[in-house]
Amino acid sequence: MRLGVISIQGNVSEHIDAFRKVFDGEVMRVQNRGDARCCDGLVIPGGESTTIGKALEMKGMRDEIKKLGEDGTPMMGTCAGLILLSKEVYGGERSDLLGLLGVTIERNAYGRQRESFEAEICADSIGKAPFNAVFIRAPLIRGVDNGVKVLAEYDGRPVAVREKNILGLSFHPELSEDLRFQKLFLEMVESS
């Protein structure tokens, strides 16, 4: 099996390192059109969603990734990656969204860089022990469509959601020692 990490900007090597600890298949950088087609699962990292989105469009990768997601390739988006997977960003027209996850997002709603924080969250799908989640200029999930499963909440709002083959996290699992969200995603890839 082969996992691809969209490698345009953001926390690319952190994701690659984290997956290599729990995955014995190949982890490749997805940088150009065509790369994503070689992957059994795709990770869209955190960073700056407008930068990543623009580059995906310019490189002709956006439509390809969207089609793969629609056809069932498992995808995990974290932070900026969650924004790109979403169908709608509150308060702004965006043409770069992949629209694969039925959620409405508000960018930077948890505050600016210096208001970054860590919080314990609970998610049954990774087991009972609390998970220490790192939030950095995190997007807020304001609304979810029917069919989107809320896996974890913080302060009464969803922070981990899943719709079929798409997993969206508003925090940065690649910055925690705890690799249970990577394992959850690998299970999705293995069973797809």
What residues make contact with ligand GLN under the rule CB under 6 A?
46-49, 79-80, 83, 107-108, 136-137
Q: How far is the CB of 177 from ligand GLN (least distance, A)?
A: 19
**Whether residue 174 lies in the annotated active site:** yes
Answer whether 143's CB lies under 8 Å from 103's CB: yes
Question: Around Cβ 154, how many Cβ atoms within 10 Å?
Answer: 20
Question: Around Cβ 49, how many Cβ atoms within 10 Å?
Answer: 27
Q: How far is the CB of 90 from ligand GLN (least distance, A)?
A: 12
Could you give the CA distance from residue 119 to residue 98 in angstroms, rounded to a whole number?
A: 28
**Helix H or strand E segment including 47:** none
Could you give the CA distance from residue 180 to residue 192 in angstroms, rounded to a whole number?
A: 19
**Is 102 a known ligand-binding residue?**
no
Residue among 88, 174, 187, 190 flagged as catalytic: 174
Query: Of 40 and 48, which has the nearer Cβ to ligand GLN?
Result: 48
**Is 48 a known ligand-binding residue?**
yes
Query: Of 53 and 74, which has the nearer Cβ to ligand GLN?
Result: 53
Q: How far is the CB of 46 from ligand GLN (least distance, A)?
A: 3
Answer whether 26's CB lies under 8 Å from 61's CB: no
Could you give the CA distance from residue 156 to residue 97 in angstroms, rounded to a whole number?
A: 25
Query: Of 82 and 126, which has the nearer Cβ to ligand GLN?
Result: 82
**Whether residue 190 lies in the annotated active site:** no
**Whether residue 39 lies in the annotated active site:** no
Mind telling me the catalytic residues? 79, 172, 174
